[in-house]
């Protein structure tokens, strides 16, 4: 084993597969063993667009957040549209009495006939009476509540005072005029940050919702690496909030948590720069970044992770054969686009036509951007019709896009992968890399299977 | 403010989208923030549409609010017209835009676009999807027909003018739209039915129509109001303004189809249809009379749907299948009166609500054997373990079948017979599986009947032991998990915690009861024992219970 904690590559075949060595830049900037900087790829100017956006608003994050914290309820204060949106986005989920709902504003609330605050208190009372198991209530602002300037922070404070001890009320905005799709989770988590207890203890804090199974796997691996304690935000129980302080090292499981990171940094935590844990390479670098920060012997890192890396690559190999050389267009959706583009180009050999992202947070994406192939065209924001014109002109082999666009593109003869599946599926970690690649290979494979003569 | 977990209907602008997406050559500019594009997936996923709805969203953001959102609206409108070149333009706003009062419709009106512009004002905080669809269709037709409005005092056209004009009578089919229930197939069925009776279809709208087709609406001798939720207001307006009579019977079910044809022939002055047409054209009347259907008699059915399908279903259930309707309701408040009347005829109080939990509660209390409802009721029924058939929007992708499956007309009646009776068959089948589970041949899951498919252990060999092991295996089962092997395949009737224990002779008596009623007898007996404070169920207790329940 070499001295670098970041040796993803052992076989010569793989050397060819991964022409860019992992950029030690950032990964070890704050770690104990600095390694030489790698060259950053030259990317064409960012294409910034504004216009019609075919992207969900931040309310949609509720769909996975409520499953992560089964003792929390998410109450959107909004319109029938909000209720219909969350329900339609959640249409793929199991229909149970959900732990989310909408307090729908009516004409009386708008006309001031009814004091909206009193009405909200009444709705919250009814709700908590019916759901006594709820420990944390998120009041979620929406476009209409923001526009009429309904003060949900005040409402949360008021209800908190009344409910003290029984339930904790926090508020954030998931409105479409301020947030896109996954930013809703950023809002929810940053609303929790002020509630986190303080602690100087050295600990690793994983930030961002992971599927429980994936998280368990990471915890096992961190334990094997001798890293601990490891805590998570969001926690599995809304009342079991992790502490935060100067000893806290943040490892971001998701790339869309800009505000949460800033809030945690203000509490003294330090972010460990790393690619995101998607694919073999990203996941290894992610865990290695934590290992470096906790002074773990690189030999131990290699000993624990390299067998997994090798197995992960073996599992990926057949999928790489299907994806290699295929041209990929990612439309802006979940903020996962850049890490996915990195994985699909470097580990699966796909060619990137355009990588769209709703917004580009350069500091949080630095390590990912450094891994993108030379010349990758990034676009930020969206002007849907113009972007679709570029799709049609480029005729990519696969387009990653939202549900509203997928069937229309398929009907035009262009294969698609629904992006929403990526936020519902366990895709993080070395062991999931092949499953992740399979999500993209399946539409292409299916096209090969179907015959009509 | 109203707490909502799941909603039957979307906001009214989604209704407008349904009209726009159902038609050709029409475009809708919607002043709305990011996120409202979610509605596109209702069409592309549930209806599997091969194109996006013809909707342009302005996608305004918080930072635009301080500036000139009106300019953004005008830019979006101009771009949409340039790109899509629609024959007519709908302009409106979603809930948030309604609050900032840019009045996009008025803005569009001042832009000299060269196409008819419909200014849609759909109050998002008081109205819902179906109302929005109806209002949009009405406003669109009003705009397009403005120049044709007859002068006041113009005599009504004679409904039999077709005769004088030497042509077949012709009607409009109004109301079918995307995200409606089986509209695509209903149109085909009704078009065929009318053709057989010498009636032509003038215009079908909104589904498949262009704005230019709507201009021809007054050429019809009558309007057929197929889906009152969407077409009711338009039909009434056409009747008032153009004197076009409306056929209001919705032809769902054998009786309704007959009444529909009778109403048509009266309105159009045609010969009355043959009395035996239903028997000749639909299998449903015979299937329902056939002996196999005897077991349908008095089945308790709970119905909740849009008004059109709820009313039709109640009638079919009661009159054509011999069910007992134990609950009837709708979320369509606009048509609550009609549903109340239909419920009253059946001696019921209609449930008018858009709270699916209230529906589930009513469903539970009514203890039905079959639920006819929307996707919501399908889920509620599943939780309650009751068979269910979906008869109305809101839809799931599985409610848009690839095959021809109308609800209306003669074939619609056949489809309804199959799709309502099959869940009951399935119910019976599950019941049988529940019974067979206790027979030694039964192994979890389906097995081949071939010898090699038989369970590895010769279960029959254990048969004599049943009585001997009964006590212990019952205890094991009561503890929650039946032990593997013999216990799993041989599990005798089990008791759950808190219920009386079966004695050996009671159990032996139970096993002599035919398997297809054994489960029911067992449950009844245990209930009886619990209610009467009996601790051990002996053979005598079993017969006491039998006598008690046969009273």
Tell me: the pLDDT tens digits for B506-548? Answer: 888 888 776 667 777 888 888 889 988 888 999 888 888 888 8
Q: Which of B51, B60, B83 has the CB atom closest to A411's CB atom?
A: B51
Q: How far apart are CA A54 and CA B57, in angstroms?
A: 9
CA-wise closest residue to B15 among B70, B53, B52: B53
Better pLDDT: B549 or B304: B304
Across the range B265-288, mean pLDDT stands at 94
Confidence of residue A286 (pLDDT cuts 50, 70, 90): very high
Helices B183-196 and B254-268, packing angle to 10 deg: 50
- φ, ψ dihedrals at A349, nearest 5°: 75, 20
Task: Write down the pLDDT at residue A35.
Answer: 40
Task: Write down the pLDDT at residue B549.
Answer: 77
Confidence of residue B551 (pLDDT cuts 50, 70, 90): low
Q: How many residues does chain B have?
A: 551
Residues of A in contact with B49 (CB under 8 A): 407-408
Task: Write down the pLDDT at residue B510.
Answer: 86
Cβ-proximal residues to B223 (8 Å cutoff; 6+ apart), any chain: B171, B172, B174, B217, B231, B234, B235, B238, B239, B244, B245, B246, B247
Q: How far apart are CA A273 and CA A238, in angstroms?
A: 27
Residues of A in contact with B44 (CB under 8 A): 403-408
First vs last C-alpha separation in chain B = 50
> B258, B389 in Cβ contact below 8 A?
no
CA-wise closest residue to A275 among A205, A190, A367: A367
Q: Looking at B180-189, B491-500, B512-521, which range is the least confident one? A: B491-500
pLDDT of A13 higher than 50: no
Task: Write down the pLDDT at residue B450.
Answer: 62
Cβ-proximal residues to B430 (8 Å cutoff; 6+ apart), any chain: none
Chain A's closest residue to B52, CA to CA, is: A408
Better pLDDT: A177 or A112: A177
Confidence of residue B250 (pLDDT cuts 50, 70, 90): very high
One DSSP character per residue, A261-285 reads HHHHHHTT-EE-----SBHHHHHHH
Q: How far apart are CA A201 and CA A206, in angstroms?
A: 15
Q: Which of A53, A81, A405 has the CB atom closest to B11's CB atom?
A: A81
Question: CB of B543 within 8 Å of any CB in chain A?
Answer: no
pLDDT of A92 higher than 80: no
Give the gap in angstroms from C-alpha A324 to the nearest C-alpha of chain B: 28
Helices A279-293 and A298-323, packing angle to 10 deg: 160
- Whether ipTM exceeds 0.85: yes
Cβ-proximal residues to A199 (8 Å cutoff; 6+ apart), any chain: A243, A244, A245, A247, A248
pLDDT of B444 higher than 60: no
CB contact under 8 A, B95 and A144: yes
Task: Write down the pLDDT at residue B429.
Answer: 64
Partners of A248 in beta bridges: A203
Task: Write down the pLDDT at residue B294.
Answer: 87
Q: How far apart are CA A197 and CA A147, in angstroms?
A: 33
Cβ-proximal residues to B473 (8 Å cutoff; 6+ apart), any chain: B482, B483, B486, B487, B490, B491, B492
Task: Write down the pLDDT at residue A252.
Answer: 98
Q: What percentage of chain A exceeds 90 in pLDDT?
A: 81
> A250, A272 in Cβ contact below 8 A?
yes
Across the range B355-371, mean pLDDT stands at 93
What 3-state DSSP class applies to A159?
A: helix
pLDDT of A442 higher than 70: yes
Better pLDDT: A36 or B155: B155
pLDDT of B234 higher than 60: yes
CA-wise closest residue to A235 among A135, A87, A152: A135
Better pLDDT: B550 or B120: B120
The Cα-based distances of B164 to A378, B167, B221, B244 in angstroms read: 69, 8, 12, 17
Question: CB of B130 within 8 Å of any CB in chain A?
Answer: no
One DSSP character per residue, B11-58 reads -HHHHHHHHHHHSSSEEEEEE-BTTGGGGHHIIIIIS--SS--SEEE-
Task: Write down the pLDDT at residue B523.
Answer: 84
Q: What's the sign of the alpha-carbon dihedral B438, B443, B449, B452?
A: negative
Q: Looking at A39-43, A333-337, B356-360, B442-446, which range is the least confident one? A: B442-446
To the nearest whole number, what is the mean pLDDT of chain A? 89
Residues of B in contact with A102 (CB under 8 A): 3-5
**Burial classification of residue B33, based on how many CB atoms lie within 10 Å of its CB (0-12 exposed, 13-18 middle, 19 or more buried):** buried
Across the range B386-415, mean pLDDT stands at 95
Tokens of A187: 């809002």
* Phi/psi-derived region of residue B167, left when phi > 0, alpha when psi is between -120 and 50, beta in every other case: beta
Confidence of residue B442 (pLDDT cuts 50, 70, 90): low
Question: CB of A129 within 8 Å of any CB in chain B?
Answer: no
pLDDT of B331 higher than 70: yes
**Burial classification of residue B83, based on how many CB atoms lie within 10 Å of its CB (0-12 exposed, 13-18 middle, 19 or more buried):** exposed
Across the range A418-424, mean pLDDT stands at 88
What 3-state DSSP class applies to A329?
A: strand
Across the range B385-397, mean pLDDT stands at 93
- Element spanning B305, H or E: strand B300-305
pLDDT tens column, B81-103: 999 999 999 999 999 999 998 99
Q: Which of B3, B9, B11 has the CB atom closest to A79's CB atom?
A: B11
Rg of chain B on CA atoms, in Å: 29
Q: How far apart are CA B154 and CA B144, in angstroms?
A: 20
CB contact under 8 A, B65 and A107: no
- φ, ψ dihedrals at B437, nearest 5°: -50, -30
Confidence of residue A103 (pLDDT cuts 50, 70, 90): very high
pLDDT of B483 higher than 70: no
Give the gap in angstroms from C-alpha A208 to the nearest C-alpha of chain B: 22
> B471, B491 in Cβ contact below 8 A?
no
> A33, A199 in Cβ contact below 8 A?
no
pLDDT of A5 higher than 60: no
Q: Which of B7, B52, B79 has the CB atom closest to A87's CB atom?
A: B7
Q: How far apart are CA A30 and CA A301, in angstroms?
A: 17
Across the range A215-237, mean pLDDT stands at 96
Across the range A44-60, mean pLDDT stands at 94
10 Å Cβ neighbour count for A333?
28
Confidence of residue B437 (pLDDT cuts 50, 70, 90): low
Place of tokens 């085909």: B188
To the nearest whole number, what is the mean pLDDT of chain B? 87
Residues of A in contact with B379 (CB under 8 A): 95
Window 389-428 of A, Cβ < 8 Å to B: 402-408, 410-411
- Please list, residue by residue across B213-228, b when 16 or more beta carbons sit within 10 angstroms of its beta carbon and e when fewer do: bbbbbbebbbbbbbbb
Better pLDDT: B292 or B249: B249
Task: Write down the pLDDT at residue B498.
Answer: 59
Across the range A412-429, mean pLDDT stands at 92
Question: CB of A118 within 8 Å of any CB in chain B?
Answer: no
What 3-state DSSP class applies to B223?
A: strand
Task: Write down the pLDDT at residue A269.
Answer: 98
Q: What's the sign of the alpha-carbon dihedral A75, A79, A84, A89?
A: negative
Confidence of residue B106 (pLDDT cuts 50, 70, 90): very high
Give CA angle at B317 (B433, B373), nearest 5°.
Answer: 70
Confidence of residue B447 (pLDDT cuts 50, 70, 90): low
Across the range B466-495, mean pLDDT stands at 35
Q: How far apart are CA B485 and CA B444, in angstroms?
A: 11
Q: What percentage of chain B exceeds 70 in pLDDT?
A: 86
Across the range A126-152, mean pLDDT stands at 94
Q: What percentage of chain B exceeds 90 in pLDDT?
A: 70
Q: Looking at A86-95, A371-380, B193-202, which range is the least confident one? A: A86-95
Task: Write down the pLDDT at residue B357.
Answer: 87
Q: How far apart are CA B253 and CA B255, in angstroms?
A: 6
pLDDT tens column, A314-367: 999 999 999 999 999 999 999 999 999 999 999 999 999 999 999 999 999 999
Confidence of residue B449 (pLDDT cuts 50, 70, 90): low
Window 380-399 of B, Cβ < 8 Å to A: 396
Q: How far apart are CA A151 and CA A154, in angstroms?
A: 6
Residues of A in contact with B45 (CB under 8 A): 91, 403, 406-407
pLDDT of B475 higher than 60: no
> A31, A327 in Cβ contact below 8 A?
no
């Amino acid at each position: 084993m070499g001295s670098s904690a970041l040796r993803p590559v052992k076989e010569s075949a793989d050397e060819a597969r991964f022409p860019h060595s992992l950029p030690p830049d950032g990964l070890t900037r704050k770690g104990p063993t600095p390694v030489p900087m790698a060259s950053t790829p030259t990317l064409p100017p960012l294409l910034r667009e504004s216009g019609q956006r075919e992207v969900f608003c931040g309310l949609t994050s509720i769909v996975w957040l409520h499953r992560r914290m089964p003792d929390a309820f998410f109450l959107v204060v909004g319109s029938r549209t909000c209720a219909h949106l969350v329900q339609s986005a959640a249409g793929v989920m199991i229909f149970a009495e959900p732990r989310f709902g909408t307090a729908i504003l009516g004409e009386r609330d708008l006309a001031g006939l009814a004091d909206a605050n009193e009405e909200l208190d009444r709705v919250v009372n009814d709700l908590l009476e019916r759901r006594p198991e709820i420990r944390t209530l998120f009041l979620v602002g929406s476009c209409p509540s923001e526009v009429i300037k309904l003060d949900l922070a005040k409402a949360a404070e008021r209800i908190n005072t009344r409910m003290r001890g029984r339930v904790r009320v926090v508020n954030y905005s998931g409105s479409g005029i301020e947030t896109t799709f996954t930013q809703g989770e950023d809002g929810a988590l940053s609303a929790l940050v002020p509630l986190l207890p303080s602690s100087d203890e050295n600990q690793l804090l994983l930030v961002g919702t992971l599927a429980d199974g994936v998280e368990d796997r990471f915890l096992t691996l961190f334990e094997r690496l001798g890293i601990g304690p490891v805590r998570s935000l969001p926690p599995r129980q809304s009342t079991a909030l992790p502490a935060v302080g100067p000893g806290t090292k943040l490892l971001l499981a998701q790339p869309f948590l800009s505000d949460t990171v800033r809030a945690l940094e203000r509490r003294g935590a330090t972010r460990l720069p790393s690619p995101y844990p998607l694919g073999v390479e990203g996941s290894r670098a992610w865990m290695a970044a934590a290992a470096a920060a906790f002074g773990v012997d690189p030999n131990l890192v290699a000993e624990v992770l390299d067998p997994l890396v090798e197995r992960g690559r073996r599992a990926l190999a057949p999928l790489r054969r299907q994806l290699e050389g295929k041209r990929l267009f990612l439309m802006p959706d979940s903020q996962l686009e850049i890490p996915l583009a990195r994985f699909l180009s470097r580990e699966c050999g796909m060619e990137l036509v355009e990588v769209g992202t709703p917004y580009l947070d350069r500091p949080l994406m630095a390590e990912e951007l450094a891994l993108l192939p030379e010349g990758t065209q990034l676009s930020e924001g969206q002007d849907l019709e113009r972007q679709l014109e570029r799709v049609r002109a480029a005729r990519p082999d696969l387009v990653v896009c939202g549900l509203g666009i997928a069937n229309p593109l398929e009907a035009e003869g262009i294969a698609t992968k629904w992006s929403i599946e990526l936020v519902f599926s366990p895709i993080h970690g070395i062991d999931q890399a092949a499953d992740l690649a399979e999500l993209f290979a399946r539409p292409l494979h299916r096209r090969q299977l179907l015959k009509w003569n | 403010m109203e707490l909502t977990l799941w909603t039957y209907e979307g906001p009214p602008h989604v209704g407008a989208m349904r009209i726009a997406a159902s038609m050709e050559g029409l475009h809708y500019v919607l002043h709305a923030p990011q996120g409202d594009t979610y509605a596109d997936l209702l069409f592309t996923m549930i209806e599997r549409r091969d194109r996006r709805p013809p909707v342009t969203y302005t996608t305004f953001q918080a930072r635009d609010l301080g500036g000139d959102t009106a300019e953004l609206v005008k830019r979006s409108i101009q771009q949409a017209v340039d790109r899509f070149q629609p024959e007519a333009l709908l302009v409106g706003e979603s809930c948030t835009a309604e609050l900032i009062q840019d009045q996009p419709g008025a803005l569009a009106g001042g832009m000299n676009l060269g196409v008819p512009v419909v200014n849609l004002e759909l109050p998002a905080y008081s109205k819902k999807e179906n109302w929005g669809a109806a209002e949009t269709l009405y406003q669109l037709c009003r705009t397009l027909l403005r120049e044709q409005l007859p002068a006041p005092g113009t005599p009504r056209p004679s409904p039999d003018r077709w005769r004088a004009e030497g042509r077949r009578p012709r009607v409009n089919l109004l109301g079918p739209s995307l995200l409606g229930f089986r509209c695509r197939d209903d149109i085909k069925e009704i078009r065929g039915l009318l053709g057989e009776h010498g009636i032509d279809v003038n215009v079908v709208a909104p589904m498949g129509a262009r704005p230019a087709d709507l201009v021809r609406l007054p050429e019809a001798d009558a309007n057929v109001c197929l889906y009152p939720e969407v077409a009711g207001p338009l039909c009434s307006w056409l009747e008032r303004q153009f004197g076009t009579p409306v056929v209001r019977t919705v032809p769902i079910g054998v009786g309704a189809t007959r009444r529909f044809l009778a109403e048509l022939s009266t309105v159009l002055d045609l010969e009355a249809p043959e009395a035996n047409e239903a028997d000749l054209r639909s299998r449903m009347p015979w299937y329902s009379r056939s002996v196999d259907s005897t077991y349908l008699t008095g089945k308790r059915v709970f119905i909740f749907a849009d008004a059109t399908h709820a009313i039709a279903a109640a009638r079919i259930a009661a009159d054509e299948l011999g069910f007992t309707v134990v609950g009837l309701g709708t979320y369509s408040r606009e048509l609550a009166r009609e549903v109340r009347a239909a419920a009253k005829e059946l001696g019921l109080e209609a449930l008018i609500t858009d709270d699916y939990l209230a529906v589930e509660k009513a469903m539970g209390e009514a203890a039905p054997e079959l639920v006819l409802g929307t996707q919501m009721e399908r889920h509620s029924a599943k939780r309650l373990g009751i068979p269910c058939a979906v008869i109305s929007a809101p839809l799931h992708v599985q409610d848009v079948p690839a095959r021809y499956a109308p609800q209306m007309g003669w074939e619609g009646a056949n489809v309804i017979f199959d799709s309502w009776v099959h869940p009951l068959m399935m119910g019976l089948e599950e019941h049988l599986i529940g019974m067979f589970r206790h027979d030694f041949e039964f192994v979890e899951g389906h097995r081949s009947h071939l010898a090699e498919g038989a369970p590895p252990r010769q279960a029959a060999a254990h048969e004599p032991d049943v009585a001997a092991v009964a006590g212990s295996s019952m205890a094991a089962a009561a503890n929650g998990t039946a032990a593997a092997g013999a216990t799993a395949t041989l599990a005798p009737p089990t008791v759950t915690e808190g219920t009386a224990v079966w004695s050996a002779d009671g159990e032996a008596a139970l096993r002599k009861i035919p398997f297809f009623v054994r489960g029911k007898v067992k449950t009844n007996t245990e209930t009886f024992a619990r209610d009467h404070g009996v601790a051990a169920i002996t053979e005598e207790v079993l017969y006491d219970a039998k006598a008690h329940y046969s009273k």
